[in-house]
Amino acid sequence: MRKIIFIICALFLTQCRAEVLTQCRAEVHRILFLGNSITYAGKYITDLEAYFVTRYPQRSIEFINVGLPSETVSGLSEPGHAGGKFPRPDLHERLARVLAQTKPDLVFACYGMNDGIYLPLDEDRFQKYKDGIHWLHDAVVKSGAKIIHVTPPVFDGQSGKHPGYEAVLDTYSNWLLEQRRIGWEVADIHWPMKKYLDDRRKTDSTFVLAKDAVHPGDEGHWVIAKNILLYLGEHDAENAADVKALLKTNPNHERIFELVSQRQALMKDAWLTATGHTRPGMKTGLPMKEAEQKAREIGDQISSLLK
155-183 confidence digits (pLDDT tens): 999 999 999 999 999 999 999 999 999 99
* Helix H or strand E segment including 187: strand 185-187
SS3 content of the chain, % helix, strand, coil (to 5): 60, 10, 35
Whether 13 has a pLDDT exceeding 70, the answer reads no
Whether 20 has a pLDDT exceeding 80, the answer reads no
Whether 7 has a pLDDT exceeding 90, the answer reads no
Length of the chain: 307
Whether 6 has a pLDDT exceeding 90, the answer reads no
* Helix H or strand E segment including 150: strand 146-150
247-276 confidence digits (pLDDT tens): 998 999 999 999 999 999 999 999 999 999
The fold of the 27-306 domain, in CATH, is Rossmann fold (3.40.50)
pTM value? 0.92
Helices (H) then strands (E): counts for the chain: 11, 5
Of 37, 35, 31, 34, nearest to 282 by C-alpha is 37
- Say which DSSP state 81 is in: G
Query: How would you list the strands of the sheet with 106-110, edge to edge?
Result: 62-65, 30-35, 106-110, 146-150, 185-187
Residue-level pLDDT at 249: 87
44-94 confidence digits (pLDDT tens): 999 999 999 999 999 999 999 999 999 999 999 999 999 999 999 999 999
Residue-range domain boundaries for the chain? 27-306
